[in-house]
Amino acid sequence: MYQNTAIATDLSSKKPNTNSFLFILTRESFRFINLICYRRIKIHGQENLTKLPKDKGVIIIANHVHKMDPWLIATAYRIAPIHFLAKKELTEFFTQYHECLVELVENEGKKPLVIHMIKACGLALVTNLTVKYSLTLPVDRDNSRNHINKDSLEIAHDLLCQNRTIGIFPEGGIGRKSQISKSPLRLAKGSNSVILPMFISPRPSKWNKDDVWTITIGKPFNADGHNANTMMQEVYRLKP
């Protein structure tokens, strides 16, 4: 059974421990670095956050365009910590190292390889530690019957019943659109929670100090009457 360091959960007692200190610290650090030192973030639709019921859980759904999307969403949604369902590979250092190295070489290929390797090592280490000690719930995208998925979804359900916030990328990964997960709908119906759509504008092909991240927050809606496709339509209708 999966045990998260930050959510040491006893599923039999249904009392998850939600220590959100590291999550808030990372979120504010990300916000500071991006707003002050590197790139700007524009948030549209913040008035829709006031329409969220205070007596229900919230499931945030969004498209997925970059590794930093969870922290972009967290920056836009600062009213509460978010427990993200994320691929279990994020806890595997060498898998993250390889993914970061490939992305750096593709986007910044002119720099010496050793620079890419050092940078990829740092990014992978930060990702690994952040996921391991923050509020992430791991899922296995390749095997839906993995016990990890069952455990994480049970924890997510419990958290929603406590009026907390869950974050899910229904498309399952960066750039994926082939199969949309129904988990947000099932969780929303099972816990009587609302769904909050967000759209993240695709990033430029190369990082630039003048780039602007744009996040658009939609109106919350109930799961009733929706299927996976209509649910994601609520996300993409927010595209500027």
pLDDT tens-digit map of 134-174: 567 767 655 555 555 677 888 899 999 999 999 999 987 77
In a domain, 67, yes or no: yes
Whole-number Å distance between alpha carbons of 89 and 119 = 19
Q: Are strands 58-62 and 194-200 parallel, antiparallel or unpaired?
A: parallel
In a domain, 125, yes or no: no
Determine contact, residues 79/53, Cβ cutoff 8 Å.
no
- Is residue 70 in a domain? yes
Q: Which residue has the higher pLDDT, 235 or 115?
A: 235
- CB contact at 8 A, 45 and 200: no
103: in domain: no
Residue 74 CA to residue 84 CA, distance in Å, equals 10
- What are the tens digits of pLDDT across the range 128-139? 666 665 567 767
Check residue 213 and give its pLDDT: 79
Look at residue 161 and tell me if it is in a domain.
yes
All residues at 6 or more sequence positions from 89 whose CB lies less than 8 Å from its CB, including other chains:
95, 96
The 3-state DSSP composition of the chain as helix, strand, coil percent (nearest 5) reads 45, 15, 40
Q: Domain span at residue 194?
A: 40-90+136-236
Contact call for residues 137 and 4 (beta carbons, < 8 A): yes
Q: Has residue 117 been placed in a domain?
A: no
CATH number for 84:
3.40.1130.10
Calpha distance 200→236 (Å, rounded): 9
> Number of structural domains, the chain?
1
pLDDT score of 48 more than 50: yes
CA distance 185 to 231: 8
